[in-house]
Amino acid sequence: MIKKSILVTGGTGYIGSHTVVELQQKGFDVVIVDNLSNSYREVINAIEKITNIRPEFYEFDLCDFEKTHSFFKKNKIDAIIHFAAFKAVGESVEKPFMYYHNNLFSLINLIKCANEFNVKNFVFSSSCTVYGQPDELPVTEKAPVKKALSPYGNTKQISEEIISETVKTTSLKSISLRYFNPIGAHESSLIGELPIGIPNNLVPFITQTAIGKREILNVFGNEYNTPDGTCIRDYIHVVDLAKAHVIAVERLLSNKNKSNYEIFNLGTGDGHSVLEIIKTFEKVSGVKLNFKFVERRPGDIEKVWASTEYANKELGWKAEINLEEMLLSAWKWEKAINKI
């Protein structure tokens, strides 16, 4: 049987690299496009070490239409998983144009080429940020999309709109996956998240504090309306997330999708507070974490966790890795990159 060829944009990035591994292990041919604006070429070697298969790699910016077009001319692609985007919320507030430009032009160029070269299957990386603070928890896919709190969040909302409008008038079929909070790393500790500079996200900040790179973890707010006063999120292991992408691609390729545009939440369905994360991390790592409570972070949502019912039922997918394993894998990865 001829192998299906999957274009993974942003495939050297955090979630992309884990997805490439899962795709290869399921027998797909993978082609990566990444401009290395937030990742490293060495990730290709790491992927090859895990799977014994070297993914094809093209380095260019998807905002460059000519290069994107000539890529599609040369490569026969059956489906696209589009991860490539800028993702730092704070930076998007400082440099909104850069975010709109990168996240929207890359998407538009890809869709244009998909239409021209008859690529019908498109999986898109969206985010639970589109729900803002939901009125009801757990939040379902039917919950209203609220006004974005950042240009980054807005690029995800606009992208979803572009896709949902496009599928009405073209032969494109698409699935948007709304991720909750991806954490952790591959069990091999060969790939994981490599935050550049000071991490914005909780778990990389915790592991960097534990290893001594950061002096103290600031916990943003302890008077929220939650059992222990700290914010609640739905943390999901990156490999569970990656597996859902393989299922989404298979669903599109085999025409099992129920409509031309589907949306799924990807979370565990469980909410955990910042203090729970700290306690669980201390338990699995054996390291006492230095932390203090500080002011709330502007724009933070009090609590959010996913309804996973729809993804469980329709995709036959369920997150399997528990919180202790997630945090242990993040800790092993931190030690691996520091050669400890």
Please report, as ranges, the residues that interact with ligand NAD according to CB under 6 A.
Answer: 10, 12-16, 33-39, 61-63, 83-87, 102, 106, 125, 127, 179, 182
Residue 265: name the closest of 234, 304, 323, 311 by CA. Answer: 311
H-type helices in the chain, by residue range? Answer: 14-25, 42-51, 65-74, 89-94, 96-116, 151-169, 202-211, 238-253, 274-285, 309-310, 323-337
Q: Give the residue from 38, 20, 37 showing the smallest Cα distance to 29.
A: 20
- The number of residues that bind ligand UD1 (CB under 6 A) is 20
Closest distance between ligand UD1 and the C-beta of residue 121, in Å? Answer: 24
Q: Which is nearer to ligand NAD, 191 or 252 (CB)?
A: 191
Nearer to ligand NAD, 59 or 290 (CB): 59
In angstroms, how far is CA 21 from the centroid of its own chain?
15
Site for ligand UD1 contains 153 (CB under 6 A)? yes
Q: With respect to ligand NAD, which residue has the nearer C-beta, 106 or 285?
A: 106
Q: Out of ligand NAD, ligand UD1, none, which partner does residue 10 contact, by CB within 5 to 8 A per kind?
A: ligand NAD
CB of 204 to ligand UD1, least distance (A): 8
Residue type, 23: L
Residue 213 binding partner per list ligand NAD, ligand UD1, none, with a CB distance cut-off of 5 to 8 Å that depends on partner kind: none
Q: Which residues in 117-146 contact ligand UD1 (CB under 6 A)?
A: 127, 129
Distance (Å) of CA 88 to CA 38, 128, 206, 232:
11, 15, 18, 20
Residue with smaller CB distance to ligand NAD, 37 or 170? 37
Contacts of 22 (CB under 8 A, 6+ apart): 239, 242, 243, 245, 246
Q: Is 152 a catalytic residue?
A: yes
Interface with ligand UD1 (CB under 6 A), residue from 231, 238, 239, 241: 231
Cβ contact 131:139 at 8 Å? yes
Cα separation, 261 vs 163, whole angstroms? 8
Of 87 and 186, nearer to ligand UD1 (C-beta) is: 87
Is residue 264 within a helix (H) or strand (E), and if so which, with residue range?
strand 261-266
Q: Is residue 194 at the binding interface for ligand UD1, with CB under 6 A as the rule?
A: no
> Which x/- pattern over 232-251 shows residues binding ligand UD1 (rule: CB under 6 A)?
-x------------------
C-alpha 269 chain-centroid distance = 17
Of 205, 264, 305, 317, the one binding ligand UD1 by CB under 6 A = 205
d(CA 238, CA 226): 26
**Which partner in ligand UD1, ligand NAD, none is near 39 (CB below 5 to 8 A by kind)?**
ligand NAD
Q: Please tell me the distance from the alpha carbon of residue 235 to that of residue 183, in angstroms, as a whole number.
A: 7
Site track 291-330 with ligand UD1 (rule: CB under 6 A), x = hit: ------x-xx------------------------------
Which of 100, 117, 220, 310 lies at the binding interface for ligand UD1 (CB under 6 A)? 220
Instruction: Determine if 18 is a binding residue for ligand UD1 (CB under 6 A).
Output: no
Other beta carbons within 10 angstroms of residue 36's beta carbon come to: 14
Q: Which of 58, 152, 179, 224 is flagged as catalytic? A: 152
Rounded Cα distance, 59 and 36, in Å: 7
Binding site for ligand UD1 (CB under 6 A): 87, 89, 127, 129, 153, 181, 200-202, 205, 217-220, 231, 233, 274, 297, 299-300
Catalytic positions: 152
